[in-house]
Amino acid sequence: MLTHETRLRVRYAETDQMGVAYYSNFFVWMEVGRVEYCRTAGLRYRDLEEQDGILLTVVEANCRYLSPARYDEEIIVSTSIGRAHARMVEFRYEMRCAGDDRLIATGWTKHLFCDRQMRPTRLPAQYRPLFGIRS
């Protein structure tokens, strides 16, 4: 299964007065990793939404904080698929400091495939291989 690495830098606006990245930013970084994972796999979120009316609705999210991320550190967000089927996909994340390879956080997000009316639906067959779904 594909693992994609996205690099970003902790911006000053993302830190508290101690220079440590504020906890909610980790979920933003996960989203950046997820979008780039999909792009690398050959899928643009925009196409899925606009052309097929499929939305990836977050139904659960988790982040375990292990070490502080500080202002101006380069962070590597490794993103992969944990599990997936025609109605749901779970992305897994590992965030490390590029400078010393320190594990900063791990997490996951679970997404339900929904139509434009926010009703659960099945992912169209042509997209399933991109998420590792066999049927």
Catalytic residues: 16
Nearest to 132 by CA among 93, 94, 90, 95: 90
The side-by-side arrangement of strands in the sheet containing 55-65 is: 3-9, 74-85, 88-97, 103-114, 55-65
Q: Which amino acid is at 89?
A: V
Nearest to 44 by CA among 134, 127, 129: 127
On whether the CB atoms of residues 5 and 98 are closer than 8 A, the answer is no
Q: 111 is written with which tokens?
A: 């997404």
